[in-house]
Every structure is written in structure tokens, then in C-alpha cells.
Amino acid sequence: MARQRVPEGPPPALAVQKLRIRYAKRGRLRFSSTRDFQRALERALRRAGVPMAFSAGFHPHPKISYANAAPTGTASEAEYFEISVTERVDLDSVRRALDEALPEGLDVLEVVEAAPGALADRLQGSDWVMDFPGVTREQLQQATDQLLALERVEVTRTFKTGPKTFDVRTAVVSMTTEPSDRPDCAILRVVVRHTTPAVRPDDVLTALRAATELTPPTPPLVTRLAQGPLRPATAGVADPLAADKNDDGA
């Protein structure tokens, strides 16, 4: 029977604190992938001197978890990750140091100490804004009304396992148009429930095209404004870090 190999050296230091961090993805950095961000974050954490906790074993890696990243090509004001640290840290100092260490366009907005419970369970929906150049508000409102009047709108997207057809309409919690400073630009706000598979902004656009024949001359600029617990009374999205801040006394 082969002898089990035991990793050499002392065991990794224990984690004593978990941080939940909100960051924004802006400008040209909206085209960065999740993997691009992960590489940039690990370099920034080292430069910022954050005392990261590592896993045990032959290939230790930082104890970082990522939650529901926005699709490549979309901007976001509400991206989240968690990291465990081996020393208790000052939250605002970590925010400033990490923000300075990350590339411009990846901006750390908030750092809180994690309360019990899984952050992913709080991310029930997303609030997206889409700017449609070359489309009037009247055209967009008409398309929105037509889509909301339907009970089901299916789209097909290709996944690693192949093409899959799924319903977009039931994931849409609310869809409203808003005024724009530009007469040749319409703005659409969409709150989407997180489902499996996830309904992305491009799926909503595909559904609009299929159900209403809306054909924007250029792709819309898409930004996630928030993600968190759904608020049925307002058809909006709440702050997912509110429980952590309340437990912390903030």
C-alpha cells in the first residue's frame, strides 16, 4: 500500500476574520473577465499587505470566494467577494490600500466584517440600467409594454454543455423606462431575479428583439447598479451588506 504523502512545513495560519468587499468595474475594465479580475486582485492583495489566509495542502491558495460576477462587457457598481485573513484588520485601511493597489477602473467601495450566513444567499436579484443610443423613450416604452404583457419569452444561449433554451420573462421582476439627458437615447431599468441558468442583460435584449422586434442600431451600454435581496414591495434590490453592518454596529 502506497504511503500517503504529507505536506512539509508548518500548517497555514488560522483565519480569524472574514471580510466582505464591494467593488465597482468601470470604464474599459468592464471588458475584463472574472479570471482577469482574480489575477489582478491577488496581486493587489499582496501589494496592499493584506494578511490573507491560505488553504492547506500541496498547493495552498488564498481563501477568497467570488459571488455572481457580472458578465464580461458590462459595467457594475455592485460586485462582491469574500476573503479570510489571519489577523484582525482595520476595515477602512484595507479598503484604501486595496483600492490604491488595484488598476484604475476596479474600485473598492466598501469593506465590512462578515456576519454569519452565506453572502450568496442574499444575492437574490440584480438592478440593471441599459442606455440605448439611437432609440427614443417612446419606442423603448412600447417594446417594454409588449414584453411585460407576455407570460413567457424563451431565448437560447450556448453554454459549455451546449445550447440551452430558457424563459426570460419570469425572471423579470420589473422593467421601466427613464428619461435621458439626450433626446436620441433611451434608458431602461430592469430588476432581474437570479435564476438557474442566470438571465443576463443580453438575454433580456434578445427577448426584447424576439418579442417586440426592437432592433437598436448599436448595443446598449449596460451597468449593474445593485444586487442583493429582492424587495417585493418596491420591486427593487436591497443592500446585501446591511446585516453585516448592523451586526457590526455601523
User: Using one digit for the tens of pLDDT, what is the confidence trace for 23-78?
Assistant: 999 999 999 999 999 999 999 999 999 999 998 877 888 999 998 999 999 999 99
Q: Among 114, 133, 167, where does a domain finish? A: 114
- 166 is a domain residue: yes
43 alpha-carbon distance from chain centroid? 21
* Nearby residues of 60 by Cβ (< 8 Å), 6 or more positions away: 12, 54
Residue 12 grid coordinates: 497555514
Regarding whether 131 and 81 lie in a shared domain, the answer is no
- 215 is a domain residue: yes
Closest CA to 174 of 228, 112, 230: 230
Regarding whether 60 and 40 lie in a shared domain, the answer is yes
- 190 is a domain residue: yes
Regarding whether 72 and 176 lie in a shared domain, the answer is no
Regarding whether 170 and 145 lie in a shared domain, the answer is yes
Biggest CA–CA distance in the chain, Å, is 76
Structural domain for 74, as ranges: 17-114
Torsion of CA 157, 186, 77, 32, to 10 degrees: 50
Q: Among 114, 135, 166, where does a domain finish? A: 114
3-state helix, strand, coil in the chain (%, to 5): 25, 35, 40
Regarding whether 45 and 107 lie in a shared domain, the answer is yes
- 153 is a domain residue: yes
CATH number of the domain at 196, please. 3.30.70
Regarding whether 55 and 25 lie in a shared domain, the answer is yes
Q: What are 136-167's pLDDT values in tens digits?
A: 999 999 999 999 999 999 999 999 899 999 99
- 46 is a domain residue: yes
pTM as predicted: 0.90
Q: What is the DSSP letter of 10?
A: P
Domain count for the chain: 2
- 38 is a domain residue: yes
Q: Among 114, 142, 162, where does a domain finish? A: 114
Taking the C-alpha atoms of residue 57 and residue 60, their distance in angstroms, rounded to an integer, is: 6
Regarding whether 169 and 86 lie in a shared domain, the answer is no
Q: What are 168-220's pLDDT values in tens digits?
A: 999 999 999 998 888 889 999 999 999 999 999 999 999 999 999 899 999 99
- 105 is a domain residue: yes
pLDDT at 250: 44
Regarding whether 149 and 105 lie in a shared domain, the answer is no
Rounded mean pLDDT, 91-116:
96
